């Protein structure tokens, strides 16, 4: 098979998985705003971002990380919006593809447990060019890490080097975590330079 034919085959396979994922209604009865799967990817993407689940603004717009958390995440990566949303460079596959609703304590519910086991394997298999996966938040870290995962998110993120080279754990960039960032200055001093350097090479 020629390189062009192989690329075409990969693209067709990913497109089929994306169509199926975006048409998913498995959790429809449990989603307060109804299903609207949010996932973005193209076969050549070298960076994958695995976050938690869409919030209400993302659900409304259909654009992942289209909120203040996304602004902070783009600052962490040192990329602009155009680069961040270039699907040929960056794939975005949250742990839960749809907005899960509120938890009653002012935050969102966890990602639906059915979602990642159902959709992540075929999506990841259709993204063979990915060299680095950012695991944003504890749900992504719990799902993907065996080696490198610690008792708490803080310990896991601080042990980021143990997850190299394929994974890099990050806290969620929510503004609710501003106090966490102040308590852990090593994140900006040590991890962010490494993150930005790796992203710069990949993109």
Tally of domains within the chain? 1
pLDDT 10s digits, 144-155? 998 778 999 999
Kindly report the CA angle at 191 between 187 and 192, in degrees rounded to 5? 90
The H or E element that residue 198 is part of is: helix 192-202
Distance of CA 15 to the CA centre of its chain: 19
132 touches 123 (CB < 8 A): no
CB 196 within 8 A of CB 181: no
Q: pLDDT tens-digit profile of 3-18?
A: 455 555 667 799 999 9
Supply the CATH number for residue 63's domain.
3.40.470.10
Containing structural domain, residue 139? 3-202
CA distance 104 to 70: 23
- pTM (two decimals): 0.93
User: In angstroms, rounded to a whole number, what is the distance separating the alpha carbons of residues 72 and 81?
Assistant: 11
Q: What is the pLDDT of residues 58-101, one digit of tens each?
A: 999 999 999 999 999 999 999 999 999 999 999 999 999 999 99
Q: Which of 35, 10, 6 is nearest to 118 (CA)?
A: 35
């Amino acid at each position: 098979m020629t390189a062009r034919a192989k690329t075409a085959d990969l693209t067709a396979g990913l497109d089929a998985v994306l169509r199926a994922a975006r048409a998913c209604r498995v959790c429809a009865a449990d989603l307060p705003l109804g299903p609207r799967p949010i996932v973005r990817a193209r076969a050549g993407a070298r960076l994958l971002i695995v976050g938690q689940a869409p919030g209400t603004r993302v659900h409304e717009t259909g654009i992942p990380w289209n909120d203040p958390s996304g602004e902070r995440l783009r600052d962490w990566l040192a990329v602009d919006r155009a680069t961040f949303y270039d699907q040929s460079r960056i794939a975005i596959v949250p742990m839960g593809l749809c907005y899960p609703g509120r938890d009653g304590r002012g935050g969102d519910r966890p990602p639906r447990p059915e979602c990642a086991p159902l959709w992540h394997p075929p999506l990841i298999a259709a993204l063979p060019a990915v060299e680095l996966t950012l695991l944003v938040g504890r749900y992504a870290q719990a799902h993907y890490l065996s080696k490198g995962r610690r008792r708490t998110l803080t310990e896991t993120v601080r042990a980021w080097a143990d997850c190299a080279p394929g994974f890099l754990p990050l806290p969620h960039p929510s503004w609710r975590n501003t106090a966490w960032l102040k308590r852990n200055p090593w994140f900006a001093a040590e991890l962010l330079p490494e993150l930005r350097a790796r992203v710069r090479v990949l993109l």
